[in-house]
A and B are shown apart, each in its own frame.
Chain A
Amino acid sequence: MWDKKFFKNIDYYLLISVLLLVLMGLVMIYSTTRNNYALTGGDPFALVKKQLVAVAIGVLGMLMIMFSDYRLPDLVHQILYGVNLLLLVLVISPMGLEVKGAKSWLTLGGSFSLQPSEIAKLLVILTLAKHLADKEEIDSFWDLWSPFVHIFFPLVLILLQPDLGTTLVFLFFFFVMLYIAGYNRRFLLGIVLLGILVLVAIFVGHHFFGTPLPFKPYQIQRMTVFLNPDRDPTGSGWNVRQAIIAVGSGRFMGKGLFQGTQGRLGFLPESHNDFIFAVLCEELGFFGGFVVLSLYFVLIWRCLVIMQQAKDKYGVLVTAGIMAMFLFHILENIGMNIGIMPITGIPLPFISSGGSSVITNLLAIGLLENIWIRRQKLIF
């Protein structure tokens, strides 16, 4: 097992860029939380330590996945699908923990808690890839029904939390995977356009005929305020404005590590989490932002390469799903930090503070490496 060839086959671009992102994340978590007594309880390293534990677990899991074959039997996939649904049901049951109006957490005794919607992404990617890879008939419109059914249940459960951001991630990688799987592009495009049309119809109907909206007003407010943050500068526009101020004020070289003020003084909420990129840009400037974007670019680029070199359809689809997941997270999180995307609380991969997220992402990297290592006929 500890073959020289094995190590030679590891994608080091991917591994190193991810490691660098994790490192930057740890530094930024320290920067954004060290003075926040409410979060750290007095130990400036409290959240860094927590993140480190998660990273350790994640790396361990990643290594385990790397060393085993990704091609799991059908039964395992069915179990994984079932476990996923169970976790998602548990989280919206009375066992789930409600934080800021959303039931996204499961307490696992002690101070450990799990965010099932994070791991759900990976589980759905795996089971969906399996489902798609096994399907032979994909040409007719009605061949689309089974993948839709497959994603329907986890999606609805997540929407019930409610976690709009993760729902969008699901939809994004779902369509990318269908697209890569070779489903009729016109059908896919048609469905996406139809979805957009329905949304528009709902708003038009509400505006002109007073039909009820399936969203709460604050959700719409949050989703649209980025278009004009000055409309409500102290309310829902606050975060966008403060994030933009943080990013912009970093200028080229930043205010210096740990010298940022927007997050530390409480102008920017969730600065260790959703808005960690803004603080990074404030402290490390355009330079820092550029480095982060470059590292993410390497990550996505490697995904595209791995996708083309994967040994089988399943590997291609898993890679496509993971790539789409990362891409959407990057676009959405950085986008909302720089005021071009609506605010949905989804974390920045590897950087944001949050155990479930970093573990899931590291496991995903393990899968990518696994697929890459086995791209050629390697016998174990």
Chain B
Amino acid sequence: MNNRTIRGLDRSVKVLTILVFMIFSLLLFRLWYLQIIKGEETFEKSSQNRTRPLWITAPRGNFYDRNGELLVTSRISHVVSVVPEDIEDNPYVIQFLSQVLALSEEELFQRMEEGAKYQKDQYIPLKRDVDGVAVGQILEAKLDLPGVVVEDYPVRNYPRGEWGAHLFGYLGEISEQELAQHRGLGYRLGDAIGKTGLEKTYDHELKGEEAVRIWEVDRVGQPILVLEEKKYVPGHNLHLTIDAHLQAVAEQAIRDQLAWAKTQTNPQLNKANAGSVIAIDPRNGAILAMVSYPEYDPNQFVGNISSTAFNELLNNPLNPFSNRVTRGHFMPGSTFKPITVLAALEEGLVKPGETFNCTGVVRVGNSQLRCNPPHGKLNVIDGLKNSCNTVMAELAFRTGPDKLAEHARLLGLGARTGLNLEPTELEGLIGDPAWKRKARGETWYPMETALIAIGQSFVNVTPLQLAQVYASIASGGEVYTPQLVKKITTAEGETVTEFSPQAVRKIKLKPENLAIVREGLEQVVEDGTARYAFQGFPLDKIPVAGKTGTAENKGKNDFAFFASYAPADQPELVVVVVIEEGGFGSQAAAPLARKIYEAYFGIDRAKAATSQRVPDQMDLLE
């Protein structure tokens, strides 16, 4: 039996005790550091670790016309999403997806890389609008494809194709820039977002709230169960001021008109290839139809547009992406003349009965302005009816360029109309001596006053602005903000927002002056430059007032204009038509406006023509 004969045991035990304390302190301190100091941070990590959120796009809101007719909707398709972290090291999955989705492996990795910048451990949409065959193949191999899901996906559908493209706009995948812009508004990578048109303007209303499904996954990324699920809220519907029927007529009419122009031998006409139509209610600013031609088919952008198709559109010299109604910048030509007349009348510089003598040429210093043919003696009403340059120049000289510009601005030129539609409309331009000094550092030439008077030189308008001017004349000075959306409702039909007409301003115009201008515009159609276009139109029942215009454009053929409203005595509709390189407004633009009035007022042309045929022929005989 040994005795306790260990030398220095007490000392050894002491050393050992110190060692034990050190070890336990180390462990405790480290535990404190990990759980208390770093705890929150690590907690986040562990939450991401086990969950894979999946966002499911909500069906986008529909577009309806003013009568409730469906214009734009969505159809159900599929989207294939992956978690990059779960599949990037799995060559089988990569190869499989590449084959089934017809994406090269490079494209696949590129898409994942883009996505992973934001959300490596979340489902990233790889391909949208995947066809049923591919979906079937993926679902069959599901067990071998951890980290891959197929979900229902609403795809935007524009049943009318090109029709209304600039109005509706199109959707595209959200860009990094847009993502940064809309931070905090619930957008995420891979989302479709309105790129232009109403889709862009009201994107936030239309997109709805996506569904979220938080999947709990195992280590390889195979979903185990849904931890949380939030159902989607469909996007809000837009009820437009557009009249589907009128829009359809305008769409067809501009195509017919351009097709007809091509068949003509007149070189001033047969190069016509683009144009715009706008129809607006002067009583409230509601836009009933709006066409900018050429258009594009927004359905092309659904899913993934092929780059060749996109480049074709992009490189088209006619620029189908441009909305000519709000961003076409034109010299208005003779359609400006009512402003010249109104300005002179309002300033009291011309008497209603006063007569002018048109010799066919206006001379100022060394320059001259022609008026062809010479009109002889005529008053201001005749001046409008015959679009006489001499009268306009004389009136403008009396008014002076500053006052003339002031009245043009009062009627809405040189400023945005306030239409809420992407891309933002252009401002236009109305020049005066002060502007010229500032912008160009040049002095004003007297002849430039005459040029403004006939809508040339320093005047630029958009068709929408022109419509706004004619709407002001039609309404007697009441100016409304043009409107495209009447009402926003939920998917269930409850009203979210109702847009009442927005009166911008009331222009104080003397009724007698207004009456003179309106009389002049009425005579243009009845007996003036537009009379041929309206031959056979029941003007006795529905008098139309308007002004033709032919504007010179450098390096191009003249642009044809017709700005109008009807019925002349109680206007309900303003129609402005621009046919680029169409030559004479009376020939290229006015017939198109007539078709819209016929559609709006329900006039059967064949019937109307029969009843009118006899006096027509008598007219011609005279």
Contact = CB atoms under 8 A, between A and B. Distances in A.
A265 interface: yes
Given A134-B2, A249-B45, A308-B9, 13 more contacts: A180-B13, A245-B46, A262-B49, A266-B219, A293-B27, A300-B20, A307-B9, A314-B2, A323-B16, A327-B20, A338-B27, A338-B30, A338-B31
Interface of A: 71, 133-134, 176, 179-182, 234, 242, 244-252, 261-262, 265-267, 281-282, 285-286, 289-290, 293, 296-297, 300-301, 304, 307-308, 310-314, 316, 320, 323, 327, 330-331, 334-335, 338-340
Contacts of B34: 244, 247-248, 338-339
22 contacts: A133-B2, A179-B12, A180-B16, A181-B6, A182-B7, A242-B49, A244-B34, A247-B34, A248-B35, A249-B46, A250-B35, A251-B35, A251-B43, A261-B49, A261-B50, A262-B46, A265-B216, A265-B217, A267-B49, A282-B46, A323-B16, A340-B30
Interface string B14-28: 011100100110111
Interface string B268-292: 0000000000000000000000000
B39 A250 contact: yes
Contact of B9 (A234, A261, A267, A316): A316
Nearest to A334: B27
A180 B46 contact: no
Nearest to A176: B16
A301 B21 CA distance: 10
A248 B26 contact: no
Contacts of A323: 16
Contacts of A262: 46, 49-50
Given A261-B50, A313-B4, A247 B31 contact: yes
B4 A261 contact: no
A181 to B, nearest CB: 7
Contact of A265 (B2, B5, B27, B219): B219
B260 interface: no
Contacts of A180: 6, 9, 12-13, 16
Interface of B: 1-10, 12-13, 15-17, 20, 23-24, 26-28, 30-32, 34-36, 38-43, 45-47, 49-50, 89, 216-220, 224
A168 to B, nearest CB: 14
Contacts of B1: 71, 312
The 5 closest A-B pairs by CB, nearest first: A248-B42, A249-B46, A251-B39, A266-B219, A286-B35
Contacts of A331: 23, 27
B24 A297 contact: yes
A281 B31 contact: yes
Nearest to B51: A261
A304 B45 contact: no
Contacts of A252: 35-36, 39
B6 A293 contact: no
Contact of A251 (B10, B16, B36, B219): B36
A323 B9 CA distance: 15
> Among A134, A179, A251, which residue has the most Cβ atoms of chain B within 10 A?
A251
Contacts, number: 141
B27 to A, nearest CB: 5
A335 B31 CA distance: 10
Nearest to A311: B4
A145 B8 CA distance: 22
Given A249-B46, A251-B36, A267-B50, A316 B31 contact: no
Contacts of B89: 234
B9 A182 contact: yes
B2 A313 contact: yes
B26 A265 contact: no
A206 to B, nearest CB: 30
B4 A251 contact: no
B20 A304 contact: yes
Given A71-B1, A334-B27, A338-B27, A248 B43 contact: yes
A304 B8 contact: no
Nearest to A305: B13
A362 to B, nearest CB: 22
Contacts of A327: 20, 23
Contacts of B40: 251
A245 B42 CA distance: 5
Contacts of A290: 28, 31
A229 to B, nearest CB: 13
B13 A308 contact: yes
A179 B9 CA distance: 9
Nearest to B43: A249
A244 B42 contact: yes
B4 to A, nearest CB: 6
Contacts of B218: 265-266
Given A266-B219, A293-B31, A316 B49 contact: no
Contacts of B41: 248
A316 B50 contact: no
B216 to A, nearest CB: 7
A265 B216 CA distance: 8
Contacts of B219: 265-267
Nearest to B26: A340
Given A262-B49, A281-B35, A249 B12 contact: no
Contacts of B50: 261-262, 265, 267
A286 B31 contact: yes
| Residue in A244, A265, A331, A335 whose Cβ sees the most chain B Cβ within 10 Å | A265
A88 B471 CA distance: 103
B17 A304 contact: yes
Contacts of A330: 23, 27
A339 B31 CA distance: 10
Contacts of B17: 304
A328 to B, nearest CB: 9
Contacts of B47: 249
Nearest to B34: A248
Contacts of B4: 310-313, 316
Contact of B6 (A182, A267, A300): A182
A151 to B, nearest CB: 19
> Considering residues A266, A281, A285, which has the most beta carbons from chain B within 10 angstroms of its beta carbon?
A266
Contact of B224 (A251, A265, A301, A310): A265
Contact of A312 (B3, B28, B42): B3
Contacts of B220: 266
A349 to B, nearest CB: 14
Contacts of B12: 179-180, 182
B35 A285 contact: yes
Contact of B49 (A245, A296, A297, A313): A245
Nearest to B85: A234
B28 A293 contact: yes
A297 B8 CA distance: 24
Nearest to A134: B2
Given A247-B35, A249-B42, A249-B45, A182 B24 contact: no
A281 B42 CA distance: 13
Given A134-B2, A266-B218, A304-B17, A335 B9 contact: no
Given A248-B42, A304-B13, A338-B30, A312 B2 contact: yes
Contacts of A247: 31, 34-35, 42
A176 B16 CA distance: 9
A158 B216 CA distance: 41
B467 to A, nearest CB: 63
